Amino acid sequence: MAAMLGIGLWGLDRGGMWGDESVTFQVARRTVPQIWRLLHDVDAVHGLYYLFMHAVLAVHPGEVVLRLPSVCAATVTAGLVAALGVRLAGPRIGLWAGLLYAITPMTGHYAQEGRSYALVAAGVAGATLLLLRAVDAATARAWWPYGTVVALTCLLHELAVLVLCAHAVTLALTRVPRRVWSGWGCAAAAVVLLLLPLVWVSQGQAGQVAWLAPPGWDRVERLARNFSPGPDGAVFWGSLLLMALGLRERRLAAVALPLLLVPPGILMMVSQVRPLYHDRYVLYALAGGPLLVAAGAGRVAGALGRMRFAGRRVRIAGRRVRIGRRRVRIGGRRVRIGGRRVHALLGVTGVLALTVTFLHHLPVHRQDRSAAQRPDNLAVVSALAVRQMRPGDPVLFVPSVGRLAALAYPKGFRRVRDIALRESAPRSGTLWGREATPGELRQRLASVDRVWVVAERDALDPRRPPSDPVERTKLAVLAEEFTVREEHARDGVTLRLYVRPSAGDVPPGTATTARLPESRPASPTARPRPARW
């Protein structure tokens, strides 16, 4: 947990929120009635998370505070993974499993994200530990904590319900008696019944994930690499080999393997018909990987320890002793040579090996702490607006989701006029406000001679006409009545100044362009911008 906390806090203030984080930030700062109104039309799947973050940000609204719950959740998850390892295979396996979870780049990525996925991972890990305790207790009362934690986790994100399928496979593999199945079945049924209203509401908002595509084998490979402590090279292939060896620890494998494979597998199969899959929706399944790797490493360590020390003779106080076979008197105490000390040495060696692995992939972790590794940086957009726009200038967001930059960082847009906005986001119960109709927008643009346009990378491409009539009107009026005078580009966002052509102006179709250096490519864990779940 200490390792995970240090990794989570390292570089937490990266200097800018990206789109989904800004949604959390601006929605959580609304009043509870405004949040409730929003959930009727959009983002119902995140309703409980927004209410939780409303209480968190009431303490201090800031980027670091926005991400602190995820850091704390990842820290708790690392401890829970270690506790699972201890319960299933002993302290050494638990120590290694917890550290493996902490140093995995995907874990660190979502530990620093102002979204619900790290909290969901903590809930699933806690529910898995409570499942084992309930099975051992074999009483009806023991299932109440399990059902409560699973229910809260599913309310944070409804796709966490797939963990029930993983737990069912675990119970089948461990051949539990009928009374255990009865207790688990009652808890699972209660969770599903509680979740049905949320599922019904969210189905009406499925357009939020319409951008998702059916996953192919490339997504399977990407998920496997993201779940590894090292996404490539010897660490990745070594992790797969150790996982295979870890399957011989049957009790641990019966818990870890279904958790690792069942939720992603089910979601990928469903997504072939109705695309719902994204890596972050199954982040909680990652906990199964470190458990299997640690179990495999434990078997290798045990074999090496026996091969190196068992039966070997050493001289102690003038006596030849066979290690691991006899007790000798040292300082008045009888001590078995080669027992606990060898196990302690192997444990420390494993920790050192994990430290070397972390240092080897340190550049990956360092890159991930840069704002450039997220899909966008809204702070950069606001900074460009401060430098380039004059007081009273009209601004047009293409598409309207670009208004998130003004909502997250209003300082950069405080002096300008949002020419397309008809009703603000909090008042309209939407994420980024309601815009004028196509006719109203044409009238408003007819009254100005210059307008700044904040656009995504491909939004101004004439070869990709948008389906929304308001967005088509924006592009049509700009093409018919304006010409580009200035352009500034950074981090996938373009800021253009459009003016009406007149005597002395640059000819239509030409522009004076000032391009800032583009950011580096996004990390493998980075996600496409339109995501709202």
- How does pLDDT run across 99-130, given as a tens digit for each residue? 999 999 999 999 999 999 999 999 999 999 99
Q: What is the mean pLDDT of residues 57-73?
A: 94
Contacts of 60 (CB under 8 A, 6+ apart): none
pLDDT band (50, 70, 90) for residue 512: very low
Separation between Cα atoms, residue 88 and residue 253, nearest integer Å: 9
Which pLDDT value is given to residue 525?
A: 44
Q: What is the mean pLDDT of residues 16-39?
A: 93
Which pLDDT value is given to residue 410?
A: 87
Q: What is the mean pLDDT of residues 408-428?
A: 89
> Long-range contacts: 420-424, Cβ < 8 Å, 24+?
420/396, 420/444, 420/470, 420/474
Q: What is the mean pLDDT of residues 39-59?
A: 93
Q: What is the mean pLDDT of residues 463-481?
A: 87
Contacts of 271 (CB under 8 A, 6+ apart): 212, 214, 215, 277
Q: Crossing angle of helices 63-89/288-309, nearest 10°?
A: 50
Which pLDDT value is given to residue 95?
A: 94
CA dist list (Å): 73 to 14, 37, 65, 111, 264:
19, 28, 13, 8, 21
Cis preceding-peptide flag for 61 (omega within 30 of 0): no
pLDDT, tens digit, for every residue of 277-316? 999 999 999 999 999 999 999 888 877 766 644 445 545 4
Q: What percent of the chain has pLDDT over 90?
A: 55
Tokens 């847009």, located at residue: 413
Selected residue with higher pLDDT from 337 and 521: 337
Separation between Cα atoms, residue 379 and residue 372, nearest integer Å: 11
Separation between Cα atoms, residue 385 and residue 493, nearest integer Å: 12
Amino acid, res. 136 = D
| Residue in 391, 481, 497 with CA at minimum distance from that of residue 442 | 481
Separation between Cα atoms, residue 369 and residue 313, nearest integer Å: 51
| Residue in 292, 376, 364 with CA at minimum distance from that of residue 107 | 364
| Residue in 319, 323, 321 with CA at minimum distance from that of residue 338 | 323
Beta bridge mates, 398? 455
Contacts of 435 (CB under 8 A, 6+ apart): 400, 420, 421, 422, 441, 470
Which pLDDT value is given to residue 316?
A: 47
Strands 421-423 and 434-435: antiparallel
Which pLDDT value is given to residue 228?
A: 87
Tokens 């018909």, located at residue: 273
Residues 339, 344, 345: CA angle, nearest 5 degrees: 100
pLDDT, tens digit, for every residue of 366-398? 988 888 788 888 888 888 888 888 888 899 999
Selected residue with higher pLDDT from 315 and 185: 185
Looking at the predicted structure, is the pLDDT value of residue 519 above 60? Answer: no
User: How long a stretch of residues is the chain?
Assistant: 533
> What is the three-state SS of 458-507?
CCCCCCCCCCCHHHHHHHHHHHHHCEEEEEEEECCEEEEEEECCCCCCCC
Separation between Cα atoms, residue 207 and residue 479, nearest integer Å: 29
Selected residue with higher pLDDT from 436 and 492: 436
Which pLDDT value is given to residue 268?
A: 96
| Residue in 458, 335, 468, 344 with CA at minimum distance from that of residue 400 | 468
Beta bridge mates, 417? 394
Which pLDDT value is given to residue 186?
A: 95
Residue 279: other Cβ atoms inside 10 A: 22
Quote the tokens at residue 430.
């939407």
CA dist list (Å): 459 to 207, 397, 420, 467:
19, 10, 16, 12
Which pLDDT value is given to residue 320?
A: 56
Selected residue with higher pLDDT from 529 and 331: 331
H or E element that contains 35: helix 32-39
Looking at the predicted structure, is the pLDDT value of residue 520 above 70? Answer: no
| Residue 54, helix vs strand vs coil | helix
| Residue 227, helix vs strand vs coil | coil
CB 365, CB 355: distance < 8 Å: no
| Residue in 258, 528, 378, 285 with CA at minimum distance from that of residue 16 | 378
Quote the tokens at residue 70.
């995820």
CB 369, CB 10: distance < 8 Å: yes
Helical spans, DSSP H, in 285-377: 288-309, 340-360, 362-368
pLDDT, tens digit, for every residue of 197-216? 999 998 888 888 888 899 99
pLDDT, tens digit, for every residue of 229-261? 877 778 889 899 999 999 999 999 999 999 999
Question: 318 in the Ramachandran plot: left (φ > 0), alpha (ψ -120 to 50) or beta?
Answer: left
Beta bridge mates, 419? none
| Residue 100, helix vs strand vs coil | helix
Quote the tokens at residue 66.
């926005």
| Residue in 137, 110, 392 with CA at minimum distance from that of residue 278 | 110
pLDDT, tens digit, for every residue of 167-180? 999 999 999 999 99
Contacts of 250 (CB under 8 A, 6+ apart): none
pLDDT, tens digit, for every residue of 129-167? 999 999 998 788 999 999 999 999 999 999 999 999 999
Burial of residue 392 (number of CB atoms within 10 Å: 0-12, 13-18, 19+): exposed
| Residue in 356, 233, 247, 260 with CA at minimum distance from that of residue 296 | 247
Quote the tokens at residue 9.
């806090």
Looking at the predicted structure, is the pLDDT value of residue 515 above 90? Answer: no
pLDDT, tens digit, for every residue of 317-351? 555 555 554 454 545 555 454 455 666 777 788 78
Supply φ then ψ for residue 333, to 5 degrees: -120, 145
Q: Is the dihedral of CA 441, 444, 449, 451 positive or negative?
A: negative
Q: What is the mean pLDDT of residues 343-362?
A: 81
